[in-house]
Amino acid sequence: MIDSWHPLSCPSQFESNLNQQWLGLKILAVNQGRPGDGSGSVEFVAIFKVSGKVETLHEVSEFVREQGRWCYLSGILKQ
């Protein structure tokens, strides 16, 4: 996951939870982010398990294309 972060917004320290297991990803909306676009956003719900408990993460993430690959720039958590 850290490899997809844009250098301008990447945290200097990133803690990965080894007890976390990703279970699924549901894409709710995509704005731009198509071939030829330089930026775009994705609204999604990620489902994961941490310490035996199933959790969800609902976010709208902003991405920019740099050198042909998409990089995560920022995100807004949704309720």
CATH assignment of the domain containing 36: 3.10.450.50
Q: Which pLDDT score, from 0 to 100, does residue 34 have?
A: 87
Domain of residue 70, residue span? 2-77
Q: Which pLDDT score, from 0 to 100, does residue 1 have?
A: 52
Tell me the whole-structure pTM to 2 decimals. Answer: 0.74
Sheet holding 69-77, edge to edge: 20-32, 39-50, 53-66, 69-77
Q: Which two tokens stand for residue 58?
A: 């609902």
Exposed, middle or buried by CB within 10 Å (0-12, 13-18, 19+), for 63?
Answer: buried
Q: How many domains does the chain have?
A: 1
Written as tens digits, the pLDDT of the chain (79 aa) is 555 655 555 555 555 556 788 899 999 999 998 888 999 999 999 999 988 999 999 999 999 998 888 888 889 999 8
Q: Which pLDDT score, from 0 to 100, does residue 5 have?
A: 54
Please report, for residues 61, 68, 78, the alpha-carbon distance to residue 34 in angstroms, rounded to integers and kept in the order given: 15, 12, 23
